[in-house]
Amino acid sequence: MFLPILFIFSLLPFSHSAVQDFCVGDLALPDNPAGYPCKKPAKVTVNDFVFSALGVAGNTSNLIKAAVTPAFVAQFPGLNGLGLSLARLDLAVDGVVPMHTHPGASEVLFVLEGTICAGFISSANAVYFKQLSKGDIMIFPQGLLHFQINSGKGVAIAIVSFSSPNPGLQITDFALFGNNLPTELVVKTTFLDEAQVKKLKGVLGGTG
């Protein structure tokens, strides 16, 4: 009676956490789709499980007037294999995180200070956006285009959580205009005129 049940459980996938407490990433070794190899237990210290950089404001003196301070596995190796990560978002007045996606994770944004207009677009092109205030939380499902804008009169700060230690990032504006994709192809695929495309390439560092 119990043998079929045991057999079924033997076929189920289990993470490393089912057989060991943790797998602190050894950043000296190359990563792979499953993450970094585990650091030898004798070399693990409490500092592998502590990260302090999110208490420091990011530098928002840039084009988008925003800064993201990541606590991903590359900065915080204790996250390796645990399926989560964090980041701090600082938005100066008029700061914006342009349309972007995280191909590897869903996101939860928690507003600590200020007012943020945030939203996402579904794969059916339905738009969901809202003005968020201190204490509000918003979810952005994995892979969907989303944005954050400081819609208040002072600085805005948020903490972001991801469902992966390495969520990935692609900013739409930079994907289109911040590389060497030929101008004529951008014109044909975006319906913008050539002058607009060249202007945006100039602003975002693109060529071609």
Residue-wise pLDDT tens digits, 91-140: 999 999 999 999 999 999 999 999 999 999 999 999 999 999 999 999 99
102 annotated as a binding-site residue: yes
115-177-123-100 Cα dihedral, nearest 10 degrees: -30
> What CATH number should be reported for the domain whose range is 46-168?
2.60.120.10
100 annotated as a binding-site residue: yes
**CB count in 10 Å sphere of residue 207:** 11
Structure tokens at 95: 């700061």
> What is the pTM assigned to this prediction?
0.85
133-181 pLDDT, tens digit per residue, is: 999 999 999 999 999 999 999 999 999 999 999 999 999 999 999 989 8
Residue 114 · residue 152 · CB < 8 Å: yes
Instruction: Delimit the CATH 2.60.120.10 region(s) of the chain.
Output: 46-168
Give me the DSSP letters along the chain.
-HHHHHHHHHHS---GGGTSS---B-TTS--BTTBPPBPPGGG--GGGG---GGGS-----STTSEEEEEESTTT-GGGTTSS-EEEEEEE-TT-EEEEEE-TT--EEEEEEES-EEEEEE-TT--EEEEEE-TT-EEEE-TT-EEEEEE-SSS-EEEEEEESSSS---EEHHHHHHSS---HHHHHHHH---HHHHHHHHHHHT---
143-63-175-27 Cα dihedral, nearest 10 degrees: -70
Q: Average the pLDDT over 40-64 and give the result.
A: 96
